[in-house]
Structure 1
């Protein structure tokens, strides 16, 4: 492929991402085949200084704009979407702190100091076997019990992206108090009482190692909790987080662009004996290339235009996410179908891209929830009823620790545990 085309979109916010993306792409097949945590890719992202791009300027960070974050994540998604997703969870956490400032100050500064020495990975542990996705409402069964030194966390979380490589689990839990409260507890990955149940056997995004994680009386400090608030107002607002979910979709824009590149490269290199020239010069493949470009290029326009210009229009953001996700999935399907066996062969990258793109609309809120939100908004526009009325169940704190609630801070937090990790892993 021409160098100019392959590097398009790889220079963002003054950062040349081409080298990082190349390293991710080289390491991705091995991590995918093994279903293993992508350490090499995460190290490349850390070494390039990308994991802290959303840290607030008051902490010495860049606090990049959301549009730039979407473009960076799309670039990383070209190389390895699993690395992009794991990285994005950390980047979102820093961005929420930059916007809301709800972390305990001492704890957050301690984490930033750690991030200078090695990759610091953070992610929310929220989904539960009984509850399912919090995007559909409900309170967590995971319990935070008061102890003399702070809190003891017990419960099981599902689909914890990056589980094996996280530095801290951000565990959404309900307290055992009366009245009950809900918050996000910052649990060191090396704390005793954590078990990673290796049951992530997904079709695609295998290297995200989104295993179940069990917490059994795991101790955390009294200050190591974010946005502890009353359970009666703990609600998840899917519309409020529409921007974030659209940025997440940019990962799969990267996947589709990598698939598009693989398709074009194959067409240019394939010279059947009966033709005597590359199939890229046939009308059929020119038309297919145009169809794929329409779908992928159109999805890029939808995502980036909405992120850049529709920050206060949740319906437009949700609509863009759904339309773009469907187009990206269709584009990769077109590419695989056109190539037949070569497209489905594990010897090439297109088969992996096809598997990965299936996850594009799996992330909460799922398609049915988004369509319901849009439908209610359409009716509310006629009746004058606020669109917010569509949120069901008890919601607001759930999705991410980004509400203006204060953490309970009665005692000083103990220093992070040192030494070898105490996390236990078991296979299903």
Structure 2
């Protein structure tokens, strides 16, 4: 059981934050940050108790990801994908037993990462509709996977890929093929990484493209995603669920890091014309209050939603996508307020603010995105 006391989490945050700027500059996999999270037991905290794990739930997961995101958003993102993978297995054991056992064994020795690999260069984000071009062709022995994916966070650090694909089966319906995920060990022949990640933020997340060329897999590697009662496929990421609140949590951590950096800078900065720290001025005090207000709002929305679910209240479930939107707005506003108030110091790479701003802006890309969430909410409200 990992130590989730405020002191223990703060220590992990500090260790990760110490090396985050260098990984942001190089774009390399944040090995030292991941190792710190692993030593603290935070990468496997959601492994179910039936597998010998701590079996932590959504609220504790959010606390972990806030702490990791406060240290380094890239580490937080890699950890979020990993923790959500274990949470999914805890809810419904869909991995082949041998694969999941191997995944757990690797996690004993060091950081062992898995992630859903879903987006494609032509299609874009799956949450906006459509079917993947990537195919899993049925053979006598299992499956052969082929296709190219984009934005595969984790890169070569991934021990397992969970690849979204269409089933190509001799007896299948070509008009309505089965759609699902294939559990793919990251060291199989036929997997080629293409270094495409050159991004504004999350630079150490290694979110590169990956190509699968005739990757052979066993029959039980395919996990079908059921179609709706009307026979229409709807992507699970098209609407938020409790399990998708890990990403907002890590960005709250980024906003918290900006708040701490703002406080330190305001206490240390003494302009000669002022003769005292800028923290003593009402202007900076008001900005600090605005930053704190935005973070308080984001945290309250996050934990309020999760606590209601834990208590059995489901009346707010249709609004979960909207809550993600509001959390995203709040964390961006918090970091932007810090940067805007400081002028040049807020934009220099010698200080953390510009990196934190670049990282927090990436909250917008996680599905469901703002326009999709607002449109769905409006249609629901208006009965359309």
| Matches of 1:336 and 1:66, distance apart in 2 | 31
Q: Work out which of the residue numbers 187, 201, 204 in structure 1 matches 2:201.
A: 204
Partner of 1:264: helix, strand, or coil? Answer: helix
Aligned to 2:301: 302
Aligned to 1:361: 364
CA contact (8 A) 1:13 1:68 kept: no
Question: How much does 1:48 deviate?
Answer: 1.4
Question: How much does 1:16 deviate?
Answer: 1.7
Kindly indicate whether structure 1 or structure 2 has the higher relative contact order, using CA contacts under 8 Å at least 6 residues apart. Answer: 1
Query: Across the two proteins, how many residue pairs are aligned to each other?
Result: 372
Going from structure 1 to structure 2, the CA distance change for 1:379 and 1:230 (only over 3 Å counts) comes to closer
Going from structure 1 to structure 2, the CA distance change for 1:339 and 1:163 (only over 3 Å counts) comes to same
| Matches of 2:342 and 2:239, distance apart in 1 | 41
Partner of 1:116: helix, strand, or coil? Answer: helix
Aligned to 1:420: none
| Matches of 1:14 and 1:26, distance apart in 2 | 18
Aligned to 1:282: 281
In the TM superposition, 1:71-110 aligns within 5 A as 71-110=63-102
| Matches of 1:81 and 1:356, distance apart in 2 | 6
Aligned to 1:136: 128
Going from structure 1 to structure 2, the CA distance change for 1:256 and 1:69 (only over 3 Å counts) comes to same
Q: Tell me, yes or no, if structure 1 residue 324 matches structure 2 residue 327.
A: yes
In the TM superposition, 1:339-354 aligns within 5 A as 339-354=342-357
In the TM superposition, 1:222-237 aligns within 5 A as 222-227=219-224, 232=231, 234-237=233-236
Q: Work out which of the residue numbers 110, 121, 125 in structure 1 matches 2:113.
A: 121
| Matches of 1:14 and 1:268, distance apart in 2 | 24
CA contact (8 A) 1:37 1:208 kept: yes
Q: Tell me, yes or no, if structure 1 residue 63 matches structure 2 residue 55.
A: yes
Partner of 2:198: helix, strand, or coil? Answer: coil
Query: CA deviation digits over 1:166-215, x for unaligned, max 9?
Result: 00111111121122322211112111111111111110111111111111
| Matches of 1:219 and 1:378, distance apart in 2 | 47
| Matches of 2:263 and 2:191, distance apart in 1 | 46
Partner of 1:167: helix, strand, or coil? Answer: strand
| Matches of 2:3 and 2:188, distance apart in 1 | 39
Structure 1 ranges of 4+ moved more than 6 A: none
Aligned to 2:153: 161
Partner of 1:87: helix, strand, or coil? Answer: helix
Question: How much does 1:310 deviate?
Answer: 4.2
Question: How much does 1:86 deviate?
Answer: 0.6
- Please state which structure has a larger fraction of its residues in helix: 2
| Matches of 1:229 and 1:268, distance apart in 2 | 56
Partner of 1:17: helix, strand, or coil? Answer: helix
CA contact (8 A) 2:127 2:238 kept: no
Q: Tell me, yes or no, if structure 1 residue 378 matches structure 2 residue 381.
A: yes
| Matches of 1:369 and 1:108, distance apart in 2 | 34
Aligned to 1:259: 258
CA contact (8 A) 1:310 1:317 kept: no
Going from structure 1 to structure 2, the CA distance change for 1:174 and 1:239 (only over 3 Å counts) comes to closer
Question: How much does 1:146 deviate?
Answer: 2.3
| Matches of 1:335 and 1:141, distance apart in 2 | 43
Question: How much does 1:57 deviate?
Answer: 1.0
Query: CA deviation digits over 1:262-293, x for unaligned, max 9?
Result: 11110100111122211100111111111111
Question: How much does 1:237 deviate?
Answer: 3.8
CA contact (8 A) 1:81 1:255 kept: yes
| Matches of 2:345 and 2:193, distance apart in 1 | 37
| Matches of 1:292 and 1:11, distance apart in 2 | 28
Q: Work out which of the residue numbers 339, 354, 358 in structure 2 matches 1:336.
A: 339
